[in-house]
Structure 1
Amino acid sequence: MATSPLNVKPSSHARSNSLPSRQYPITSQIDESLNRLRVSQSASTSSSIGHQFNCLQDLYDSVDMLLQFPLAQQDLAQEQQRKWVEQLLDGSLMLLDVCGTAKDALLQTKECTQELQSILRRRRGVEGFANEVRKYITSRKAVTKAICKALKNLKHMDNKLSSSSFSNDDDTVAVISTLKQVEAATISALESLLSFISGAEAESKSSRWSLVSKLMHQKKVMCEEEQKTNEIENAEATLRSLIKSGNMKQVENAQIELQNSEMCIQDLDEGLESFFRRLIKARVTVLNILNC
């Protein structure tokens, strides 16, 4: 039986095996999606984060197929596995809450961005614009505060996931372990998204990937560090520069950056919403399995 290419962390809950391929042929797709997620985290751009959420959508589609297997349902429904399944359900509830925070942050930033664009088009200058920018910056600070709280919750989830341990290595544990790996990958992707929205790099963005994987991609991360693009952060920096200088020539540049930010936010929001629906579906499926 081959081990999964993804280890959640080098701790006891990460040592379990991949799903038996003969009983669960979907395991290859799950492993592939996990690998794609790992690779996509080598950069901190809107496109790389969008790719992460595309991978997450594929991953949860595979999880949905896994949960349709009668053997998987039987394993999850066993009384001795109840504690692990309930932990997964608690984790999914927290992930949904974090998704809600991300959705609110994107919406609030998008609305402020659109308002600023409208003001710039009407006034065609910077006179009186400073107060509106200050409102935008204040709004961004509130967004960042909410995101910091969500990131702490993700860190708590990560620590709890790391401290989990299994008492045996049977197929039931393999199913649960795979779902925990999916949970870990989700934590990492949401951490990347929240950090991007707030304009801050995640403190332990790749902590859920194995040490080997981190070393393999270390050089690539260093090479791409200079190529990072954050449209939201760029727009805010341009606005600050505009009101500081009062230079009319920067108005057009500000409009361009705000447009880029709005398009970026729209793309991220669409990817998050699509993933959000899949996360809800997975949670409902597990609940139905327990209630059968």
Structure 2
Amino acid sequence: MATSSLNPKSHCHARSNSFPSRQHPIFLQCNEHLCRLDDSDTTSSSSSSVSHELSGLQDLLVCVEKLFQLPLTQQAISQESSEKWVDEVLDGSLRLLDVCTTAKDGLLLTKECVQELQSIIRRRRGGDMELATEIRKFLTSRKVVRKAICKALGNLKGVEKKCTFSTANKDYQTVALVSLLREVQAVTLSIFESLLSFISGPIQSKPSSWSLVSKLMKTKRVACRQEADANEFAKVDVALQSFMSQMTDKSDNIKDIQNPLEKLEPRIQDLEEGLESLFRRLIKIRVSLLNILNN
């Protein structure tokens, strides 16, 4: 998984120092979850790495939910309601929901195409013409997903820029709260950014995807390395492109696309369930924030 520019790894030690021992235990728990996410391997593009990060993010957001229920948190936010950092956190919560929605939509579209393609492969009544048509639809849908993801990733650029926060006349709990909420949003965006890249697979500019297949097939060694490094989404993309470039009626050729599709579907299901849970958490946190500001 590509290292995100939003990943605040270097702040883990400094963040720990900003939470005194007398700080509320939930603050400390949030800090612990953040440090665990900081220590995770964001350079890996494996499914297990993605699942591990989403699980860690789930634990962090559960902790943040509890944080917003604390009277000291509610009091701090209410007293600071006119400050720019509050608007920043509120806007950030909406941005997180937008990015999560983009990932969910991409997964849903891909899943529908996978299921339709698998159905046609199982029937095999329409011959290669029907199969080729469905593969083209799948590859087109993947382009749509990549376009939406590219737009979402573009919107994330510059999000790490924060408004000025003056610590003058602020108690340490308010300063710690602001720091924590900013870190939570930065880490969450970083993980979503990596997830979007994972779903999109390798995003190709010119040359076209057909040139990619040709290049992959030049040597067996290069093809094997690509296969080993790719995630389930990328493997399906490459397999379908390769199939279209050398379509035959051989059953072995069908298996070349059937196996990656069968592996991709449960991966999509797992990611969908994880994202749906995260989406609900993010909504609850945003609602809690709005309730505090409106009371």
Deviation of the 1:7 alpha carbon: 8.3
Q: Please give the alpha-carbon distance, in whole angstroms, between the structure 1 residues aligned to 2:145 and 2:7.
A: 32
Cα distance change, pair 91–234 in 1 and its aligned pair in 2 (3 A): same
What letter matches 1:287 in structure 2? L
Number of equivalenced pairs: 259
Q: Please give the alpha-carbon distance, in whole angstroms, between the structure 1 residues aligned to 2:81 and 2:294.
A: 15
SS state of the match for residue 19, structure 2?
coil
> Would the aligned equivalents of 1:19 and 1:175 in 2 still touch at CA under 8 Å?
no
> Would the aligned equivalents of 1:8 and 1:181 in 2 still touch at CA under 8 Å?
yes
Deviation of the 1:119 alpha carbon: 0.7
Cα distance change, pair 91–267 in 1 and its aligned pair in 2 (3 A): same
Gaps of at least 5 residues in structure 2 are 1-5, 204-225
> Would the aligned equivalents of 1:40 and 1:51 in 2 still touch at CA under 8 Å?
no
| Aligned residue in 2 for 1:205 | none
Counterparts of 1:60-139 in structure 2, within 5 Å, are 60-79=61-80, 82-123=83-124, 126-139=128-141
Cα distance change, pair 19–45 in 1 and its aligned pair in 2 (3 A): same
Deviation of the 1:64 alpha carbon: 1.3
Q: Please give the alpha-carbon distance, in whole angstroms, between the structure 2 residues aligned to 1:80 and 1:287.
A: 10
Cα distance change, pair 22–106 in 1 and its aligned pair in 2 (3 A): same
Query: Which stretches of structure 1, 4 residues or more, deviate above 4 A after TM superposition?
Result: 14-17
Q: Please give the alpha-carbon distance, in whole angstroms, between the structure 2 residues aligned to 1:280 and 1:32.
A: 23
| Aligned residue in 2 for 1:146 | 148
State which drifts further: 85-94 or 238-247: 238-247
> Would the aligned equivalents of 1:19 and 1:178 in 2 still touch at CA under 8 Å?
no
Q: Please give the alpha-carbon distance, in whole angstroms, between the structure 1 residues aligned to 2:227 and 2:18.
A: 36
SS state of the match for residue 158, structure 2?
helix
> Would the aligned equivalents of 1:151 and 1:191 in 2 still touch at CA under 8 Å?
yes
State which drifts further: 21-30 or 123-132: 123-132
Write out per-residue CA displacement over residues 60-115 of structure 1, whole angstroms, 9 at most, x where no aligned residue: 11111222221121111114663211110101101101111111110000000111
Q: Please give the alpha-carbon distance, in whole angstroms, between the structure 2 residues aligned to 1:196 and 1:100.
A: 15
> Would the aligned equivalents of 2:34 and 2:60 in 1 still touch at CA under 8 Å?
yes
| 2:173 maps to which of 167, 171, 174 | 171
Write out per-residue CA displacement over residues 215-266 of structure 1, whole angstroms, 9 at most, x where no aligned residue: xxxxxxxxxx996441011011111111211242220221111111111111
> Would the aligned equivalents of 1:76 and 1:82 in 2 still touch at CA under 8 Å?
no
Cα distance change, pair 53–137 in 1 and its aligned pair in 2 (3 A): same
Q: Please give the alpha-carbon distance, in whole angstroms, between the structure 1 residues aligned to 2:85 and 2:16.
A: 14
TM-score (norm 2): 0.80
Cα distance change, pair 239–9 in 1 and its aligned pair in 2 (3 A): closer
Write out per-residue CA displacement over residues 100-135 of structure 1, whole angstroms, 9 at most, x where no aligned residue: 111111000000011110111111763442222111
Deviation of the 1:9 alpha carbon: 7.8
| 2:195 maps to which of 173, 193, 196 | 193
| Aligned residue in 2 for 1:216 | none
Cα distance change, pair 113–150 in 1 and its aligned pair in 2 (3 A): same
SS state of the match for residue 59, structure 2?
helix
Deviation of the 1:156 alpha carbon: 3.2
Gaps of at least 5 residues in structure 1 are 1-5, 202-224
> Would the aligned equivalents of 1:232 and 1:261 in 2 still touch at CA under 8 Å?
yes
TM-score (norm 1): 0.81
Counterparts of 1:1-292 in structure 2, within 5 Å, are 8=8, 18-38=18-38, 39-79=40-80, 82-123=83-124, 126-158=128-160, 160-161=161-162, 164-168=163-167, 170-200=172-202, 228-247=229-248, 248=250, 249-292=252-295
Larger radius of gyration: 2
What letter matches 1:36 in structure 2? R
Q: Please give the alpha-carbon distance, in whole angstroms, between the structure 2 residues aligned to 1:10 and 1:189.
A: 16
Counting aligned pairs with the same residue, the percent is: 54
